[in-house]
Structure 1
Amino acid sequence: MSAGDLSGRRALVTGAASGIGRACAVRLVEEGAAVVAVDQDADGLAELAKTVDVEQSVVDLSQLNDVDRLDLAVDIVVNNAGLQHVAPIQEFPPDRFSYILRVMLEAPFRIVRGALGHMYAGGWGRVVNISSVHGMVASPYKAAYVAAKHGLEGLSKVIALEGADHGVTSNCVNPAYVRTPLVENQIASQAKAHGITEDEVIERIMLERAALKRLIEPDEVASFVAYLCSDAASSITGSSMRMDGGWTAH
């Protein structure tokens, strides 16, 4: 899938220093867009900038006042930044719960809120929210992540309804486990906790509910994001696009 020519478009991608965000930033640059790469990892952004020409913006998305200071004169927003914390609800630190919701739900709201004026004025815009299979189903011990992703799903649909008359689409992409640093860290910790190999964690725990027994690659998600930014996808809005390897087909 190709987004065609996005030259003349300006895109903002959060969590762009690694994983899905990095792949999206690279792909959108390849499609001709000018990309603002946002992350708190300054070194990771510098490494990205050695690969493709991006505008680097070092921001901690949990600091909402800093989010409000972003340059949001953009045509495309890819809300991707995220993190995980695994614990039973009664042991889940309330501060960590709040932190995750700030990064994964409040920051996307503020970014889109700030960007819509530019999109509406130009009569064109694309909001792509990197959700998760956990935006559609739940797993135990991931209260904050699941809550944030479910909230992002609802926010995305409201953006779609409000933006429809202004040429703005809004969609979620819902992958299962993607081969990213976030997931690789979970693999290592799960292997240690269960006393099994990392390959066994992938097969027996992460991919147990999926029909396709492999991790998704970041470039696959980036290709889907690029398609949703294209004119060919102009009628797709308010949707949740599953890339879950058949996880939710049961």
Structure 2
Amino acid sequence: MTSQAGSTPRVALVTGTSSGIGAAVVEYFCEQGYQVLAVDFNAAGKVAADAAGAAFFQADLTDPQACRDAVNDAVRRFGSVDILVNNAGIQHVETIEAFPEEKWRNIIDLMLTAPFLLSQAAWPYMRKAGWGRIINIASIHAQVASPGKAAYVSAKHGLIGLTKTAALEGGEQGITANTICPAYVKTPLVDNQIADQAKLNGMDEQEVIEKIMLKNAAIKRLIDPSEVAQMVAYLASDAAGAVTGSSWNIDLGWTAH
């Protein structure tokens, strides 16, 4: 739980924390005694942060300066950043032909450029400490594709490349970088996708869950955010010190085919 032999709690910066995976990660870290900065675009994220015992920083991470400001706020409050969990994400479902350019840029900025900028800003503090964990929350769509998700799939594929590069550059400095690739997690983002997919495919929402989201799954259910948080906890621990550059599937058997 501590970043060195003494009793100083480790400092974690987590993005996309108002609900779902991010909220579950913040809650776990706080329970374990970490100092946590929860970062979210939505001001309502402060409610979840307060309930968990975390500090809160409101930011639009599509703004490069906001990424740097988030790291600076964690350093101002806690003195460093030991763990970075890049989780913030959005989704837009549309065919390539009809995909709005503005939506494309917004998704890439939030889900690929922001993790790069946050990692870049946190890197000097991790290097100085000789210990750091970068954990990128991707998706099974970092490894496979689905129709209607050009920007999302592109950003998540890119996140794996960023993770591998960070792992190679950080190894000798005590910094590890890993990616978690969940299938569909029961979050508000997925709830919105269900509605969008229903409209795109002319189905009702239950059909979307059964015929699209769980079609390739061996385990026929959605994933609970706490299950992803437990994987984050492992990768953030000392026990995972030899684990870097890897992609960890929590995919209900999706890619076993």
TM-score by length of 1: 0.94
Q: Residue 39 of structure 1 aligns with which residue?
A: 40
Aligned-partner SS, 2:97: helix
- CA shift at 1:52, angstroms? 1.4
For 2:28 and 2:210, how far apart are their aligned partners in 1? 29
Say whether residues 1:74 and 2:74 are aligned partners: no
Q: Residue 64 of structure 1 aligns with which residue?
A: 64
RMSD: 1.5
- CA shift at 1:195, angstroms? 5.5
Say whether residues 1:100 and 2:101 are aligned partners: no
Structure 2 counterpart of 1:120, from 127, 136, 142 = 127
Q: Residue 30 of structure 2 aligns with which residue?
A: 29
> Does the 8 Å contact 1:5/1:31 carry over to 2?
no
- 1:184–1:101: structure 2 CA closer, same or farther, 3 Å change rule? same
Which segments of 5 or more consecutive residues in structure 1 lack a partner in the other structure?
none
> Does the 8 Å contact 1:131/1:173 carry over to 2?
yes
Aligned-partner SS, 1:144: helix
| Farther-moved stretch of structure 1 (12-21 vs 48-57) | 48-57
For 1:143 and 1:20, how far apart are their aligned partners in 2? 22
Q: Residue 250 of structure 2 aligns with which residue?
A: 243
Q: Residue 164 of structure 2 aligns with which residue?
A: 157
> Does the 8 Å contact 2:26/2:49 carry over to 1?
no
**Which 4+ residue blocks in structure 1 deviate beyond 4 angstroms?**
4-7, 192-197
CA-to-aligned-CA distance 1:117-154 (integer Å, 9 cap, x gap): 00010010000000000001111111100000011100
Aligned-partner SS, 2:190: helix
TM-score by length of 2: 0.91
Q: Residue 183 of structure 1 aligns with which residue?
A: 190
Q: Residue 222 of structure 2 aligns with which residue?
A: 215
Matches within 5 A, 1:198-213: 198-213=205-220
> Does the 8 Å contact 2:93/2:197 carry over to 1?
no
Identity %: 52
CA-to-aligned-CA distance 1:168-215 (integer Å, 9 cap, x gap): 110000000000000011223334555544333211111001111000
> Does the 8 Å contact 2:94/2:200 carry over to 1?
no
For 1:231 and 1:134, how far apart are their aligned partners in 2? 28
For 1:118 and 1:84, how far apart are their aligned partners in 2? 32
Which segments of 5 or more consecutive residues in structure 2 lack a partner in the other structure?
none
For 1:117 and 1:46, how far apart are their aligned partners in 2? 27
